[in-house]
Structure 1
Amino acid sequence: MPEGPSLRKFHQLVAPFVGQLVVTVGGNSKKINPNMLEMLRLQDSQVHGKNLYLNFGLAENLGLPDSFLLPKHLQKEVNLPEETSDHKLESTSGLDGQEVPGSSSSIKALELGEEEKDPINNTPWWLNTSQNSGPWLCFHFGMFGSVRASEFSRATKANKRGDWKDPLPRLVLHFAKGFLAFYNCRIYWCLGPMVKPTSDILSEEFDRRQALEALKQANPVCYTLLDQRYFAGLGNIIKNEVLYLARIHPLSLGSCLTALNLESLLDHVVSFSAGWLQKKLEGKPQHHLIYQKEHCPAGHQVMKDSFESPNGFQRLTWWCPHCQPKVTPEEPNEVQVTQE
């Protein structure tokens, strides 16, 4: 499923539509009533970890919020494609089955129906025009999930039945000029973004101290890295790549690694994620070192296995036994730190 860098790119595609009125709505979503979005204004857009949040309301004369801009430490002079037809999004295919943050007890989903309207002005009850604010739609993308701006996704190959059918969007928001199409995603109403910026690996507020404390625990580091409470936006691709860059075996216990090793791993998490995002904004592909490879850059045979984390999800992991030796409590806990 799409990871943090992909969500930031989706965010950039949504940003030009903030402040515009939704004219018509389409899509095959059964979880929400799309008709409720018609003639509402897209007021804000935020991204946290692996979730995209859109805020709708009846406010007028909206200006573009600052929330859609990249963090200052990630802003560079990037020439983005001018034509939306050239926005071909890459969907990450990591097998990250992490539970949707805030999808259960941590968030109160709003079950809104078309009949739930204010009897006086015939508008949805949750829209408070005096406060110019409404609830948020949360988008959590599945494997090959994506956002398209003013273009629809087209089939690139035949399906199992041999049919060349274009993917069906879950939701389409039509504006006066252009539209947004959302594919392969879970959509639900919420009261607002629930992920703290301090846990987002692409936020300038990312809390390194909190992340290091999590990595120090007596758990395999490959599981800790996918814990969205501390590494929001980090998925299976980033996990595999940063463990190889840090020369750490995925099943090594964090408590068996030195502070230097853990600092190096955290440095790679931040730098790799920011670098991947920058390439996406420049329209350049991300070349993997270990993910889905048969040999590592040094020419060694790569191992692949599916490890089951404590939450019950299995994720494929690639690693090099030579470059990433496993550290156990009985062995010296020093791993050679590289600066790649």
Structure 2
Amino acid sequence: MPEGPSIVILREQAAHLAGQVVREVDGNSRLDIQRMVGFRVQELRSWGKHFLVCFDGFTLRVHFLLWGSYRIDERREGGKLRLGLRFDNGELNLYSTSLKYIEGDIDEAYDWSADVMSDAWNPRAARRKLQATPDMIVADALLEQDVFAGVGNIIKNEVLFRIRVHPETPVEALSSRKIGEMIKQAREYSFDFYRWKKDYVLKKHYQVHTRTECPRCGRRLEFRPKLGTKQRRAFFCGHCQKRHG
């Protein structure tokens, strides 16, 4: 599943399509995709894991689920096209994605302060939301999109390793300082992820995600295929990452 930084990269790669009129539409989506024909793309935005194609009066929301992908100004050979938007200068092709229309003002539909990569990101709001879910374990809390929009499983695993916290630690067991570290690193690691992915070196920088040995202490990392209520993969060091509470 693409995480927030990957959606920001998509937004940047597709920037030349903003301001252009949709000339043709095709794909196997059950959505009324022909609705977009003749409309001008007002802007391209992103919120967490959502890619947003904004038109006058409505927005196409794209979610890439687990296996979604895209191609810009080219098509994927053999891929079943969910949606293709054709412009005078370029095209956007989406595969295995979830599509939905959002009516009206997009700013009323999203809390931009929750997006860890947005200029409007509000760490104080994130802290308040965390304090409202004291029993939630941190592995689940970091994946809460209304708190950390854009944070996915890779970022979750790497952030918890950075701050030396065991993924099964409940939020209420963290000190105020540790909560601050988690909030800060959710944003900082997201921007590291963004830079590394643009340079095609992201996987080289994984410390624990999909790894077997702790880069700090050399011990074997622990792996849980389904951890927490989110049931997502967890990679962590049982020695370096302290279980609080």
Q: TM-score by structure 2 length? A: 0.90
Partner of 2:88: 176
Partner of 1:24: 24
Q: Which runs of 5 or more structure 2 residues have no equivalent in the other structure? A: none
Partner of 1:47: 46
Partner of 1:307: 227
Q: How does 1:288-303 map to 2 (within 5 A)?
A: 288-298=206-216, 299-303=218-222
| Structure 1 residues 285 and 316, CA gap change in structure 2 (3 angstroms) | closer
Letter of the 1:45 partner, please give it. Answer: L
CA apart distance, 1:180: 0.6
Letter of the 2:197 partner, please give it. Answer: K
Higher helix content, 1 or 2: 2
Partner of 1:38: 37
Higher relative contact order, chain-length normalized (CA < 8 Å, sep 6+): 1
1:140 to 60, 63, 66: 63
CA apart distance, 1:283: 4.3
CA apart distance, 1:236: 0.8
What percent identity do the matched residue pairs reach?
Answer: 30
For 1:269 and 1:55, how far apart are their aligned partners in 2?
Answer: 27
Q: What is the Cα-based RMSD across aligned positions, in Å?
A: 1.6
For 2:241 and 2:228, how far apart are their aligned partners in 1?
Answer: 20
Corresponding residue SS for 1:170: strand
Check conservation: 2:45, 2:52, Cα contact below 8 A: yes
Q: Deviations over 1:9-32 (max 9, x none)?
A: 1111221111111121111112x1
| Structure 1 residues 176 and 7, CA gap change in structure 2 (3 angstroms) | same
2:111 to 178, 196, 205: 196
Q: TM-score by structure 1 length? A: 0.66
Letter of the 1:322 partner, please give it. Answer: H
Corresponding residue SS for 2:207: coil
Partner of 2:152: 235
For 1:181 and 1:195, how far apart are their aligned partners in 2?
Answer: 25
CA apart distance, 1:215: 3.4
Q: Deviations over 1:250-296 (max 9, x none)?
A: 01112112122222222211111011112333444342111111112
2:181 to 259, 264, 270: 264
Partner of 1:206: 121
Partner of 1:215: 130
Pairs aligned (count) = 237
Corresponding residue SS for 2:139: helix
Corresponding residue SS for 2:198: helix
In the alignment, structure 1 residue 225 sits paired with structure 2 residue 142: yes
1:254 to 155, 161, 171: 171
Check conservation: 1:13, 1:148, Cα contact below 8 A: no
For 1:18 and 1:33, how far apart are their aligned partners in 2?
Answer: 21
Q: Deviations over 1:29-87 (max 9, x none)?
A: 12x1222222222122111111111123xxxxxxxxxxxxxxxxxxxxxxxxxxxxxxx
CA apart distance, 1:203: 1.1
For 1:53 and 1:180, how far apart are their aligned partners in 2?
Answer: 13
Q: Deviations over 1:282-339 (max 9, x none)?
A: 4443421111111121321111111231xxx4111111101112122xxxxxxxxxxx
Letter of the 1:268 partner, please give it. Answer: Q
For 1:277 and 1:300, how far apart are their aligned partners in 2?
Answer: 29
